[in-house]
Amino acid sequence: MKVRTVCLTPWHVAPGIPLAKAALQRNGNVLLAAGTLLTEAHLNQLRERGIDLICVELPDHRSPEAVAQDIADAEARVSHLFRGPGSLAREELGEAMMAFRHDGVS
Amino acid sequence: MKISLEQLLTQADVLPTLPQVVHRILHALANERADTDTLVDHVAGDPAVVARVLAAANASAVGAGHVDSIRQAILLLGLDRVRTITLATAIIDRFRPTSHYDAQHLWLHSVGVAVCSQAVAQHAELDADMAYAAGLLHDIGQLLLFTVVPQHYEAVLRLKRERDICIVDAEREVLGIDHALVGGALAKHWRLPLPIVDAIAAHHAGETVPDTEIGDAVHVGEVLSHGLDLGASPNDLVPDLSELACARVGINWREFSSHFAEIEARFAVARLVLGL
């Protein structure tokens, strides 16, 4: 089965999903290792410790056409937000945002 | 219609004043007295804020049992998080019911800017709590303008839509003044700490952004929040970004983009906790 890595808050993840990357505490120590199958207790532990972001592996049922459409939609939204002229700094932010959105839906 | 700052400030009392707990927390931050005992003392004097903070703390500590004191919330969630929850709940609750303006959208955007400003300040090793507070309050000038001159502000919003321009350009054309200047003057009128006054006044100053550290964090944070689409308005437009402010906070966007996912997550959690 095809999977993809998605980064979400512990409030938006259901039990039974594996961690794609280790969940780190604020001091950088590993709280849960990559590959851990998340339980409700794990998710509560992450929430209580103020960990806002975890990266999990989700099954990817999208067809190649659907992936291409998601990429096109994400790029169109970034282009719309960054329409019109602006400084070089704004342009660089727009490029970084485009790459971030592209990675997020690929 | 052109309107002066003096005219607006004479009518500033149409807005409710900020709760005392917000003043106390902000002045404690400015005076580096931001410890647990100080925060507990400040919050304890306002039962309505205590109730809201405990509700928010319980919402963000699912499975931890019932959080029934501010001290317990700090123990569980950390001082920084309880401070930001307190500021946000106290400010948003005070203004939410008072305006016909789309306050829900304004606070959603303001929380997005607060979260982004906090991340930029952390990156630049500035006072992240101060940047968060300034981000939350950065658009209070819009609230005052809409409350004092609602019909003219409708004209501002119409011009913005029709010409697809940034809000400050529309404000300057219709009113001869912009919400950043108005907000800075209001913050000064309310005797908020100077870094917050300066940051609110400077957040749309473009390349003329004065050298205020928190102002740089809020300016960059505001542009970033639009870029990340945190308010998700269909016709949003990313405002221009000052090269100078970016240089002063040491941002390289390619490198800083590694923080984007975490910023989005912090915003999602804040929405959940604050009920936005």
Residues B174-189 have a mean pLDDT of 94
Q: Which element (helix H / strand E) includes A88?
A: helix A88-105
Helix (H) and strand (E) counts for chain A?
A: 3, 4
Q: CA-CA-CA-CA torsion for A26, A7, B85, B125, nearest 10 degrees?
A: 50
Average pLDDT, chain B: 87
Q: Is B224 on the interface with A (CB under 8 A)?
A: yes
Which one is predicted more confidently, B173 or B16? B173
CA count, 13 A, side-chain hemisphere, B214: 24
Q: Which of A19-23, A25-29, B140-144, B190-194 has the lowest mean pLDDT?
A: A25-29
Domain boundary assignment for chain B: 1-14+101-276, 17-94
Find, among B78, B275, B58, the residue nearest to A49 by Cα.
Answer: B78
Give the pLDDT confidence score for residue B174 in this predicted structure: 95
**Separation between Cα atoms, residue B266 and residue A71, nearest integer Å:** 24
Q: CA-CA-CA-CA torsion for B33, B36, B41, B45, nearest 10 degrees?
A: 110
Q: Which candidate from A11, A87, A96 shows the least CB-CB separation from B243?
A: A87
Report B:158-187 residues touching A (Cβ under 8 A): 164
Q: B149-163: b or e for each residue (b if 16 or more CB lie within 10 Å)? A: beebbebbbebbeee
What percentage of chain B reaches a pLDDT higher than 70?
94
Residues A52-73 have a mean pLDDT of 92
Report B:190-209 residues touching A (Cβ under 8 A): 207
Tens digits of residue pLDDT in B47-85: 878 887 888 777 766 555 577 888 888 877 778 888 888
Give the pLDDT confidence score for residue B61 in this predicted structure: 61
Within 8 A by CB and 6+ apart from B190, the residues are B17, B18, B23
Q: B83-92: b or e for each residue (b if 16 or more CB lie within 10 Å)? A: bbbbbbbbbb
Report A:7-36 residues touching B (Cβ under 8 A): 7-9, 11-12
Q: Is B269 on the interface with A (CB under 8 A)?
A: yes
Nearest CA in chain A to B57: A48
> pTM score, two decimals?
0.89
Is beta strand A54-59 parallel, antiparallel or unpaired with respect to A3-8? antiparallel
CATH topology of domain B1-14+101-276: Hypothetical protein af1432 (1.10.3210)
CA count, 13 A, side-chain hemisphere, B192: 27
CA count, 13 A, side-chain hemisphere, B28: 20
Nearest CA in chain B to A92: B253
Q: Which candidate from A77, A96, A104 shows the least CB-CB separation from B253?
A: A96
**Separation between Cα atoms, residue B19 and residue A46, nearest integer Å:** 32
**Separation between Cα atoms, residue A32 and residue A88, nearest integer Å:** 41
CA distance readout (Å), A6 to A19, A78, B29: 10, 19, 36
Q: Which candidate from A12, A83, A92 shows the least CB-CB separation from B237?
A: A83
